[in-house]
Amino acid sequence: MSASFNRVILVGSLVRDPEYRRAASNGMAVSDFRMAVDDPYKGRSAARDGRSNTLFIDVVTWDQLAESVHGHLRQGSRILVEGRLQQQEWTTRDGQRRSQIRVVASTVQFLDPVGPPADRSAPEGGSAPAPDGSADGDTFSLK
């Protein structure tokens, strides 16, 4: 049997605010989000025109990492995600087979300055940046 390796590192921006919930099976915190990652075209004309291809990647975080993601990240936040690929398969009500590949994150590094945790009940823009801006580059990971 040959060896295999399942590791992904991505840098991009959140497409929308993370979705947060508690897993029904064990009550653990779960936060899902979609990130946009630019992948420059390799063709000569595309490079000359500065075009790129944007990939939209689904990411899931668990437990304390999910809490941190939910509390600090918003649409447009720049992040570095490290994790592994996971494939989910299911059958729709009308019998169609579907599958999805997503990243199960083990580390999320915030690349923008991070302020105090946002109050989700506050109106849009309700969170303030860190007073000294020193939270730039905070990293949260699964241990």
CB 47 within 8 A of CB 41: yes
CB-CB contact of 70 with 20 (8 Å): yes
Longest dimension (CA), the chain: 55
How many helices (DSSP H) and strands (DSSP E) are in the chain?
2, 7
**Range 17-26 average pLDDT:** 93
Q: In CATH, what is the architecture of 8-141?
A: Beta Barrel (2.40)
Q: pTM, whole model, 2 decimals?
A: 0.73
State both tokens at 142: 């699964």
| pLDDT greater at residue 20 or residue 44 | 20
Note the pLDDT tens digit of each residue in 62-109.
999 999 999 999 999 999 999 999 999 999 999 999 999 999 999 999
Separation between Cα atoms, residue 16 and residue 100, nearest integer Å: 19
For 140, the 3-state DSSP assignment is strand
> What pLDDT is attached to residue 52?
72
pLDDT tens digits for 113-125? 765 555 554 334 3
